[in-house]
Amino acid sequence: MQKNVISNLKEKEKILLILDLDETLIHATETKLEINYDFQYAQYYIYKRPNLIEFLIEMNQYFELAVWSSADDKYVNDIVKLIKPPEIKFEFVWARSRCTPRRNYELDRYVHEKRLKKIKKQGFRLEKSLIVDDSPEKTRDNFGNAIYIMPFKGNQSDNELNLLSEFLKTIKDSENVRRIEKRGWRNRI
């Protein structure tokens, strides 16, 4: 009997959708663009990606949501509070302190990687976890879980979140997201 209960719970388990912040959900710049910014944070002008709020609300129906950025912890937490719709509860909001620094010798700099084995330690299953990012170098060890999107630099005609929403809805009930081919995901809509 207990085995059936556990099996039923796993069938109903939502996929964890981890979202990057900068150039994925927002664009932050010290140089004001020729369009109105959404708000200012310290010396940064913040531009929300078009359809951000609608995207978060819709994805919240199908997924457990989280944010993981390689930016400074205080910045990430403050920005997430400013862009989060009140009805959304993120499973976690992680920043640079949860990343793993790795030296990139080609770029001659350190990259702050988001290694999903850290969420596994928090009780999340990798088969039921996706990470959306514009920077493949930060999620290189998460190939089977990663969806790469075009970076957002403030373009107000950007439609990436609408396209991503359509794709994510087609895989929302997957038992193992790692088996799904995510390269060229826009062509599968």
pTM of the model: 0.91
The answer as to whether 107 is a domain residue is: yes
- The mean pLDDT of 161-169, rounded to a whole number, is 98
Q: Is residue 1 a part of any domain in this protein?
A: no
- Which CATH number does the domain housing residue 69 bear? 3.40.50.1000
Identify the pLDDT of residue 108: 83
Domain count, the chain: 1
Q: What is the reported pLDDT for 109?
A: 84
pLDDT for 95-154, tens place per residue?
999 999 988 787 788 889 999 999 999 999 999 999 999 998 888 888 899 999 999 999
For 144-164, what is the HEC assignment?
Answer: HHEEECCCCCCCCCCCHHHHH
Residue 171 lies in a domain: yes
For residue 188, pLDDT beyond 90: no
- What is the end-to-end Cα distance of the chain in Å, rounded? 40
Neighbour count for residue 60 (Cβ, 10 Å): 17
| Domain membership flag for residue 188 | no
Q: Write out the residue range of the structural domain in which residue 69 sits.
A: 14-25+50-150+157-179
Q: Under DSSP, is residue 42 helix (H, G, I), strand (E, B) or coil?
A: coil
Task: For residue 136, give both structure tokens.
Answer: 């493949």
pLDDT at 184: 92
Range 80-85 average pLDDT: 98
Does residue 77 surpass a pLDDT of 60? Answer: yes
Q: Does residue 6 belong to any structural domain of this protein?
A: no
Q: Which two tokens stand for residue 11?
A: 């069938």
At 86, list the tokens.
């009140």
CA 24, chain centre distance (Å): 7
Q: What is the pLDDT of residue 12?
A: 60
Judge whether 93 lies within some domain: yes
Task: Say if 45 falls within a structural domain.
Answer: no
**pLDDT tens digits for 44-59?**
999 999 999 999 999 9
Residue 186 lies in a domain: no
Looking at residue 6, what is its pLDDT?
A: 43
Please write the tens of the pLDDT for every residue from 1-34. 444 444 444 446 899 999 999 999 999 999 999 9
